[in-house]
Amino acid sequence: MMEFNFNIQDLTYIAKEILRNVPNKTLLFYGTMGVGKTTLIKELSKQLGVTDVINSPTFSLVNEYEIMNDKIYHFDFYRIKSEEEALDIGIEDYFFSGHWNLIEWPENISNLLPPNSTKIEMNKNQNGTRTLNIVF
């Protein structure tokens, strides 16, 4: 496990450290609403080479971004009503594609998550900083 305490201006550094240390391409983002999961995913995607505008896929469930010789799938399962809904969009095809899977609200599809995943837990501290734990 790795732990970081950071301010929003440290986001580029944090994203680079995550990418340098994660052992796989499936990252599970845990944290309360407003803790900064989407903001961190935007920075990770930028560091991976995305030049498009990056938005949260809250209603579409997944957004796809092309990067050099790879893809990023950004999932937001906040509004999902059942795991069957995730199966209907072909979630296994995404998860086992070999591409990046950045997943917000993974607890809403916990039975479908691939075993080779890295858990990223985010918490907001009283002073406005964030604590991030990477669990391998």
Instruction: Determine the Cα–Cα distance for residues 35 and 122; give it in Å rounded to an integer.
Output: 7
* Domain membership flag for residue 37: yes
Q: What token pair was written down for 76?
A: 């937001």
57 domain-assigned: yes
In a domain, 63, yes or no: yes
Give the pLDDT confidence score for residue 56 in this predicted structure.
Answer: 87
Which CATH number covers residue 33? Answer: 3.40.50.300
pLDDT tens across 49-77, in order?
999 999 888 788 999 999 999 999 999 99
What CA–CA distance (Å, rounded) separates 37 from 45?
12
Q: Would you say residue 136 lies in a domain?
A: no
pLDDT tens-digit map of 26-47: 999 999 999 999 999 999 999 9
Number of folded domains that form the chain: 1
Residue 106 is assigned to a structural domain of this protein:
yes
Whether 132 contacts 3, CB under 8 Å: yes
In terms of pTM, does the model score above 0.75? Answer: yes
What is the domain extent for residue 81?
2-131
